[in-house]
Structures are given as structure tokens and as C-alpha cells.
Copies of this chain bind each other. A is one copy, B any other.
Amino acid sequence: MKEAVRRGTDVNEKVCQWVAPEELESLLELELPDTGESEVRLLQHCRQVIRYSVNTAHPRFFNQLFAGLDYHALVGRFITETLNTSQYTYEISPVFVLMEDVVLKKLRELIGWMTGDGIFCPGGSMSNMFAINLARHRLYPHVKQRGLWVVPRLVIFTSEEGHYSLTKGAAFLGLGTDNVWTVKTDGRFVPVDVSDTETNRHTGLPLMVSATAGTTILGAFDPLAEIADVCQQHGVWLHVDAAWGGGALLSKRHRHLLAGIERADSVTWNPHKMLMAGLQCSAFLLKDQTDLLGSAHAAGARYLFQTDRCYQPRYDTGDRSVQCGRRVDCLKLWLMWKAIGTRGLRDRVNRAFACTRSPQFVNVCFWYIPPCLRGGEETPDFWQQLGRVAPLVKQRMVVKGSMMVGYQPHGKHVNFFRQILISPQVTREDLDFFLDEIERLGSDFQPM
């Protein structure tokens, strides 16, 4: 473990040890044996697992919306694993039932809610699905019992920059992907009149608007206050997917990006992203005080949720989820917060903003234009050629193991890099290295 932590965070080590799938398969001896193996062999296996895994805590890992390593959070995660309990009842999870409550309350306060509700979910996608289900349950509580056939078609609005989990959620919850209406945008959300003719074209009833605070690719923030006006006018549930951008709420300087979030009905916020709590830590937060989570989700199984216990049933929080067993996701965040305080978290967030100086958030999106293409912006196949640069550079980078950064095409834009800056372990030298390394890996690019 020490080796994993030490090598995984040492800037002089590789970020990844690239091996093609077929080769790695034979290297790892993954087959499960009839008879147990020796401790020596087991230790070798552990070393191999660590050696060929990607060092997501490495200062030159800019590839995902998570990065870095917080040692206190890691201890919290070890304790969680050691205690091996499920978050459903006070009886077997007394500490964590109370702790979850305190942590969720703190997150709600940062949103601007002095009351409310919430629960940790296995990932932001699940949190977003909870939002859809609660919006549906508030509007038509009898759907829980009778199914969607007894209500009109329901429509979810989000921007075309919104996360794909809205679409996945609409499919999973039986609403259908056609009934997610993606609003066109210039990278931000354009407020819509949810009752306008476009809606009627879908012959559906507006169920909810899911605004995004920190979009996945560009890091854009929808104008929440304007959207809240529209939602309020039409009585439509406003969900804010702040899975990524929620971290900015910690910063006095940058929390204006989420101005209006306090007017939302529900919020998704993943502290495993910018706050570095470790995978997974996704809070689903609610303004509701009527136990909508309970009425939408509860099944009241008596074998688990007894009502004749020596404490009040409200401390058995598990029935408010669609899960039965539920991992403890609060301790890692709680312990880290105790260790560095709100100020420590704020400093980290501010530092990430300072490192990027991007117009909005800490997603730095850019093209690298290799020498042979420079000045050719007007030539007919410039963009097509440019779209080949990022995959080539990325491939070389991964094989070399020097760093990791994501890329993607997006709308009418060909492949561009998306560098994500989170970890306080990232230094100015790492950022210089980053740019130089792209130059080194891509400067000999030749058009096809």
C-alpha cells in the first residue's frame, strides 16, 4: 500500500504503465484457482495490480473529473472498509446515520438551505435519477403504485451540454430518451419557456428542468437564477446537476457562478470530484421537508425496518433510498473536513481556479496546433487534420506514461484536449511540463 501511495503520487514515476489488453491479460494471471495460493504469490499479485493500474493521484493526471489524493479521506475510506457496515439502520450504523446527516446539512448550508433533506448515492448518475423520480413523485404520487400509464407523457429539459445521465435516467425510469428535450446553447443554458409550442410539439407535460453547474466538457455554468424564474412561473421542478461545479460553492470568490442554486428543488453534488473525497461520494440534496424521499422510495420491509425498536424509526434512513444495502460514503468526506476545515477546502478550490484562469471553471479546453498545420486555418482539410492530433498525442503520451489528459470531439468542434485541474499537488512545473510534453509528442505530426 505504501508503494502504491508513494509511487502513485511521485512526479518522477510514470502516470501509467501502458500494456495492450491482450498482453496485460496474460501478464496478470487473473484466473481463479481451485486451491489457495501462498502469501508470497498473493503479494506478487497485489504488486502487479498496483503496477499496472493508473496512478490517478499522480500530479500529472489531468484525465478525469477526479484526481489527487487526500490522506485523511483515504484513512476515512480504510476505516469504512474495516468496519464493513451498511448505512440503512441506526442499529448497525449508529455513527454513520448521524454523520451522514451532519455532512449533508453542511453541504445544504453551502447551497443556502437552512433546512431540507438528502442522501448519498452511488454516483452522480444515480443522484440525478433520484431527482427525476422525486419530481415525478411530487407531481403524480400514484405513479409509484400504478406506473406511468396513468399519467400524460412527461418531459425533462436540460441543455445539450447536460450530462448523459439525464438521458440514461429517462430511459431507466421509463420516460424514454425522446422525452429529454435538450436545449441548444452557446455553452450555457438558454432559458426556455417550458410551456411554449416546442414543448407541445412533444405533447408532453414539463416534469423538470435539469440545469448544469459545471458542464462535463466545457465546465460551463447555466444561469441558474434565470432558469429558476422560468421554473417558478410554471411550477416545474428545478434540479441542478452540480456534480462537478458544486465545489465552487466553497469559494467566496467564485460561488457567484452558482447564484440562484438556492432556488432549486434538488441538487446533485459529488465531493469525490473537486473536493477529493475519493470514489464514490455523491450527495443528492433536497429542499423538501415533507419526506418526499421516504414517500417516493419506501417499501417498509419489516425484517429490516422494525417499528418496535428502542429508538425512533426516523433514525433508520435506509428505506429512503432505492438501494437496500448502502455503502458508507460520509466518513471520508467528514474526516477530511475535520482535518482541513472549510477554509482548507476553500483554499484548494481557489487554487485550482488560480491555476487555470479559464473564463469559467477549471476545465481547460484547447487544441494543440502542430507546426505543419499552423497558418493553414483556412485550408479545406485543416479541421479534419487537426482532429487527428489529439488522439495521436494521447496515444504517445499513454505509451510513454508521462501524463494523462482527456480529449473529445464536441458539437461542430473536432477533437480537442480537456485538461482538468483539481489536485493541490499540481505545481507550476507540472503545468509547464504539460505544455512542453504536448509539444514534444505532437510537433512532428504530419497531415494524412
Chain B positions within 8 Å of A304 at CB level: 408
Complex-state Cα separation, A46 to B73, whole angstroms: 12
Say whether A163 faces chain B, with CB atoms less than 8 Å apart. Answer: yes
Q: Which of B79, B165, B391 is A4 in contact with, Cβ under 8 Å?
A: B79
Given contacts A147-B176, A407-B306, A311 and B20 within 8 Å (CB-CB): yes
Whether B391 lies near A308 (C-beta < 8 A) is yes
CB distance from A335 to the nearest CB of B (A): 7
Whether B341 lies near A34 (C-beta < 8 A) is yes
Of A48-56, A255-263, A369-377, A431-439, which stretch is located at the interface?
A: A48-56
Whether B338 lies near A21 (C-beta < 8 A) is no
Chain B positions within 8 Å of A66 at CB level: 84, 86, 325
CB distance from A162 to the nearest CB of B (A): 11
Say whether A289 faces chain B, with CB atoms less than 8 Å apart. Answer: no
Name the residue of chain B whose CB is nearest to the CB of A83.
B53
Bits for A51-63, please: 1 = Cβ < 8 Å to B, else 0: 0111011000001
Given contacts A149-B153, A163-B324, A334 and B398 within 8 Å (CB-CB): no
Whether A125 lies near B324 (C-beta < 8 A) is yes
Chain B positions within 8 Å of A339 at CB level: 36-37, 42
Say whether A354 faces chain B, with CB atoms less than 8 Å apart. Answer: no
Say whether A115 faces chain B, with CB atoms less than 8 Å apart. Answer: no
Whether B123 lies near A325 (C-beta < 8 A) is yes
Complex-state Cα separation, A32 to B108, whole angstroms: 13
Of A167-175, A189-197, A231-239, A440-448, which stretch is located at the interface?
A: A167-175
Residues facing B in A354-395 (CB within 8 A) are 391, 394-395
Interface centre among A21, A81, A143, A169 (most CB of B within 10 A): A81
CB distance from A378 to the nearest CB of B (A): 25
Chain B positions within 8 Å of A91 at CB level: 54, 63, 398, 404
Given contacts A56-B85, A301-B164, A126 and B8 within 8 Å (CB-CB): no
Say whether A199 faces chain B, with CB atoms less than 8 Å apart. Answer: no
Say whether A312 faces chain B, with CB atoms less than 8 Å apart. Answer: yes
Whether B143 lies near A174 (C-beta < 8 A) is yes
CB distance from A332 to the nearest CB of B (A): 9
Whether B54 lies near A99 (C-beta < 8 A) is no
Complex-state Cα separation, A124 to B86, whole angstroms: 13
Complex-state Cα separation, A32 to B174, whole angstroms: 39
Chain B positions within 8 Å of A292 at CB level: none
Chain B positions within 8 Å of A45 at CB level: 335, 338
Chain B positions within 8 Å of A326 at CB level: 123
Say whether A122 faces chain B, with CB atoms less than 8 Å apart. Answer: yes
Name the residue of chain B whose CB is nearest to the CB of A337.
B32
Complex-state Cα separation, A52 to B125, whole angstroms: 32
Say whether A253 faces chain B, with CB atoms less than 8 Å apart. Answer: no
Say whether A179 faces chain B, with CB atoms less than 8 Å apart. Answer: yes
Chain B positions within 8 Å of A351 at CB level: none
Instruction: Pick the 6 closest A-B CB pairs, nearest first.
Output: A174-B174, A147-B176, A122-B122, A303-B408, A77-B81, A164-B299
7 additional A-B residue pairs with CB within 8 Å, beyond A66-B86, A146-B178: A1-B82, A33-B338, A46-B79, A74-B81, A92-B404, A163-B324, A168-B322
